[in-house]
Amino acid sequence: MINHSAKLPIGVFDSGVGGISVLAEIIKALPSEEFIYFADTLNSPYGVKPENAIRSLAIKAADFLSNLGIKSLVVACNTATSAAISELREMYNFPVIGMEPAIKPAVGLGLKGKILVMATPLTLKSKKFKELVYNYKHLSEIVPLPCAGLVEIIERCNTNGREIEEYLFNLFCPINKEKISTIVLGCTHYVLVKQEIIKAVGKSINVIDGNYGTARHLKSVLQNERLLNNVIDGSDTLMPIKANVRFYVSENEKEVIMTCKRLLQNEGINCEEKNLNYVNTQ
């Protein structure tokens, strides 16, 4: 039986450009899908706001995408997932995929040494994170590392620059790096500065994120729900991929959309010029 919803786009949102790191993995896994990406830059950063405020921003963003007509929603933000994933799953009858710090795969590496989880203050304070740590703390020592201010710098400077270098240098300065085996990037923005993080740590270290896992999970959920717009499988895709993405941004649209497109290009993904939109979600 044909599922007509399969032709609809997949909605993806984040507070800003961080979710592009997730979108890139999703496009690679599902190159024949259409996407709508919403960057809520007007309300960025989410991670230093109270949980209630983030929950209502996440609901607004999700409602905006849902009203455009989507077959699935990806909350490409650990912070919004921590604050609102249960509510979002109750609100919609399409699959809602969230993100959480990739502690499970980090523990799965079975390495000796601490697992450092870099994330926003809200993510690390959340009940969801505490439950996640509780499930794995008998296997590894898990150390939260809140990074207030890093999302703002990445939004301002993108992926390189002195400010990022200085921030990371000061962050890692008091930490005994020899005791760390793995760093988990529990915020989708941090994936964009993975190389800078490795440089700041100054030793060979595993740095992992949940983006690939999220893309695989989305693919299997869509498959099970018969919602795949399947023609091409990601594994056979030739680079560069021509992606069908409509961008919406709540503030500073031209600059942000240019950045989103450049970040996708860095991953071998090209987007069409026409799909640039501004939205007022207030």
Which residues does 213 contact at the CB level (< 8 Å), separation at least 6?
A: 102, 105
Task: Based on the shown chain and the rule CB under 6 A, indicate whether residue 79 belongs to the binding site for ligand DGL.
Answer: yes
**Interaction mask 136-175, ligand DGL, x per CB under 6 A:** ---------------x------------------------
Question: Helices 20-29 and 253-266: crossing angle, nearest 10°?
Answer: 50
Q: Does position 18 bind ligand DGL by CB under 6 A? A: yes
Q: Which is nearer to ligand DGL, 123 or 182 (CB)?
A: 123
Q: Shortest Cβ contact with ligand DGL: which residue?
A: 47
- The distance in angstroms from the start CA to the end CA of the chain is 40
Token digits of residue 94:
């399409």
Tokens linked to 76? 């490409």
Taking the least distance from each CB to ligand DGL, the nearer of 28 and 189 is 189
Using rule CB under 6 A, residue 20 touches ligand DGL? no
Look at strands 72-75 and 180-185 and give their pairing: unpaired
187 catalytic per annotation: yes
Which ranges of the chain does DSSP label H, i.e. alpha helix?
20-29, 51-68, 78-91, 103-108, 121-125, 127-136, 150-157, 162-172, 194-201, 211-224, 253-266
Min. distance of Cβ 41 from ligand DGL in angstroms? 9
Among 13, 35, 38, 46, binds ligand DGL (CB under 6 A): 46
> Per rule CB under 6 A, is residue 11 in the interface with ligand DGL?
no
47 binding ligand DGL? (CB under 6 A): yes
10, 34 Cβ separation under 8 angstroms: yes
Using CB under 6 A, which of the segments 40-48, 124-132, 255-263, 273-281 binds ligand DGL? 40-48
3-state DSSP: the chain helix, strand, coil percent, rounded to 5? Answer: 50, 20, 35
Count of CB atoms within 10 A of residue 91's CB? Answer: 14
Residues 173-212 that bind ligand DGL (CB under 6 A): 187-189
Verify binding: residue 250, ligand DGL, rule CB under 6 A: no
Which residues here bind ligand DGL, judged by CB under 6 A? Answer: 14-15, 18, 44-47, 77-79, 120, 123, 151, 187-189
